[in-house]
Chains A and B, each alone.
Chain A
Amino acid sequence: MVKVKDLFKSFGDLAVLKGISFSVTQGEVVCIIGPSGGGKSTLLRCINHLEDPDSGTVEIAGQPVTTGNRGFWKKDRHLNQIRSEVGMVFQRFNLFPHRTALQNVTEGLIAVKKLPRQEAEEIGKKYLDRVGLADKLNEYPSRLSGGQQQRVAIARALAMEPKVMLFDEPTSALDPELVGEVLAVMRDLAENGMTMLAVTHELGFAREVASRILFVDDGQIVESGSPDQVLGNPSQARTANFISKVL
């Protein structure tokens, strides 16, 4: 479903990704863990080209993700199409503050998928219901808690019916008591067969839900394997060191 090959990315002199390759098959839940600054978020953002990698390729459902021609007006039609099939959930939610919860979810359906408003709202309500916010349709994000905002953000991504969902530290900006409700939604998605790629610090969640864990440090995949393997019996000293600090 997702194929990443030889990804390199530098910011100025700082090499953030130093040749990363991996793939995710349909229905797989892959958690990316590792220390801050190790390149996890950049890796995720390169997958839908929110960052342009310096070299390397990304394929989603067999289609190459390319930025293409960099003219201001006509660029990116292909990229927009692919992005609409990749759901992304951000650490800081990034809900549209001038739109209600429902409008946040219908925005992409109306603007990108060109659905009529009524149909978009039906779909929007369905997904907000799925994340447990059927009673908050008309609230503005500023009136919602962090956990509720993140669930709206997940509904916004799901409504586009993506082939894969990317989560960029979805619970890191939340108060501890709100983390559970977001993880519950993610767990529900995983159990229903969604292909997911999540950068997370929630090792407990990763252990329970992930089909595979990638440990990323210093721009490389240091170790990859099943949760039991990577978390329980790491083969690399760096992995063991990280896990002992976090747990």
Chain B
Amino acid sequence: MDLAVVWKYLPVLAKGAVTTVELTALAVVFGTFLGLLIALAAISGSRVLKGCARFYTWLIRGTPLLLQLFVIYYGLPQFGLTLSPFVAAISGLSLNAAAYIAEIIRGAIQSVDKGQMEAARSIGMSNLQALLRIILPQAYRRMIPPLGNEFIALLKDSSLVATISMVDLMRTAQQMYVSTFRPVEIFAATGALYLVLTTFFTLTFGRLERKLAVYE
């Protein structure tokens, strides 16, 4: 292992890492938003909404992310919808993450004691008020640890977009390895960059968890 090689290619790899961070961040935002909508559908009184939410989760969780990315990037053009690798990657990651995030949010909301909703309704709050003022603030805190896991998994799974010609950290590593033929150095540096990113996530979520624990 030659450290000089690592140093030489680190800046290029870091550029790939920036793309990976961008992809993950956008997928976290879109995935969480979509996940919240799906979770609300899943706990709504409407049987239709519930069914849709359940079907979506079943479909997405039951098929590989790689397949989903392929369908979006290679499959949709057959229906006349051609997406750039970046848009395809974001769409695939967000749609995939949303299913898992929805389950996390739904679980957290349903884990809040039933008496909380009853107490809120008994002083005259509407369903929506009770959800926003009483249920969600308690559910947030319970979502944090599993969401941290989910976001870390998302960051690592984003490496799959390398297969749809998205030049992220993983794809950059492959290219560097092909052109330098120094697999050990390149992959060690790549692993180190992934570790830096996941560690950052872990620490951030740990801090968030402690901060939200005031009233315990």
A, B co-complexed:
yes
Chain A residues within 8 Å of B, Cβ to Cβ: 48, 50, 70, 72-73, 76-77, 80-81, 83-88, 90, 92, 94-98, 107-108, 111-112, 140-142, 153, 156-157, 160
B125–A80 CB distance below 8 A:
yes
Q: Nearest B residue to A156 by beta-carbon distance?
A: B123
A160–B124 CB distance below 8 A:
yes
Q: Nearest B residue to A72 by beta-carbon distance?
A: B45
User: With A48-B122, A94-B119 given, is the CB distance from A76 to B216 under 8 Å?
Assistant: no
Q: Nearest B residue to A153 by beta-carbon distance?
A: B119
B125–A76 CB distance below 8 A:
no
B125–A140 CB distance below 8 A:
no
Q: How many angstroms between the C-alpha atoms of A87 and B133 in the bound complex?
A: 19
A76–B127 CB distance below 8 A:
yes
A76–B122 CB distance below 8 A:
no
Tally chain B residues at the interface, Cβ within 8 Å.
25
Which chain B residues numbered 18 to 52 have a C-beta less than 8 Å away from chain A? Answer: 44-46
A108–B127 CB distance below 8 A:
no
Q: How many angstroms between the C-alpha atoms of A107 and B121 in the bound complex?
A: 12
Contacts of B116 in A (CB 8 A): 94, 96
Which chain B residues numbered 119 to 146 have a C-beta less than 8 Å away from chain A? Answer: 119-129, 133-134, 137-138
Contacts of A90 in B (CB 8 A): 115, 118-119
B138–A98 CB distance below 8 A:
yes
Q: Nearest B residue to A110 by beta-carbon distance?
A: B133
Contacts of A160 in B (CB 8 A): 123-124
Q: Which 9 residue pairs spanning A and B have beta carbons closest together?
A: A84-B124, A108-B123, A94-B119, A94-B115, A88-B122, A112-B124, A140-B215, A83-B124, A80-B124
B123–A76 CB distance below 8 A:
no
Cβ contact of B134, chosen from A50, A96, A141, cutoff 8 A: A96
Q: How many angstroms between the C-alpha atoms of A97 and B118 in the bound complex?
A: 14
Most buried by B among A76, A111, A153, A160: A111
Is B2 part of the binding interface, using a Cβ–Cβ cutoff of 8 Å? no
B215–A142 CB distance below 8 A:
yes
Main secondary structure of the interface of A (DSSP, over half): loop
A142–B123 CB distance below 8 A:
no
B128–A83 CB distance below 8 A:
no
B133–A107 CB distance below 8 A:
yes
Contacts of A98 in B (CB 8 A): 137-138, 215
Q: Nearest A residue to B137 by beta-carbon distance?
A: A98
B134–A72 CB distance below 8 A:
no
User: With A107-B133, A142-B215 given, is the CB distance from A95 to B125 under 8 Å?
Assistant: no
Q: How many angstroms between the C-alpha atoms of A95 and B137 in the bound complex?
A: 14
Q: How many angstroms between the C-alpha atoms of A160 and B125 in the bound complex?
A: 12
Q: How many angstroms between the C-alpha atoms of A207 and B38 in the bound complex?
A: 53
User: With A98-B138, A140-B215, A142-B215 given, is the CB distance from A81 to B127 under 8 Å?
Assistant: no
B123–A94 CB distance below 8 A:
no
Contacts of A80 in B (CB 8 A): 121, 124-126
Contacts of A157 in B (CB 8 A): 122-123
Smallest CB separation, A196 vs chain B (Å)? 15
Cβ contact of A50, chosen from B122, B137, B215, cutoff 8 A: B122
Smallest CB separation, B205 vs chain A (Å)? 19
Contacts of A111 in B (CB 8 A): 125, 129, 133
Contacts of B120 in A (CB 8 A): 96
Cβ contact of B44, chosen from A72, A92, A107, cutoff 8 A: A72
Smallest CB separation, A108 vs chain B (Å)? 4
- Extra contacts, 19 of them, besides A112-B124, A142-B216, A157-B122 (Cβ < 8 A), are A72-B44, A72-B45, A80-B125, A83-B123, A85-B124, A86-B122, A90-B118, A92-B115, A94-B118, A95-B119, A96-B134, A97-B138, A107-B133, A108-B123, A111-B133, A112-B123, A112-B129, A157-B123, A160-B123
A-B contact pairs, 21 of them (CB 8 A): A48-B122, A50-B118, A50-B121, A77-B126, A80-B124, A85-B124, A88-B122, A90-B115, A94-B113, A94-B118, A98-B138, A107-B133, A107-B134, A111-B125, A111-B133, A112-B123, A112-B124, A140-B214, A140-B215, A157-B122, A157-B123
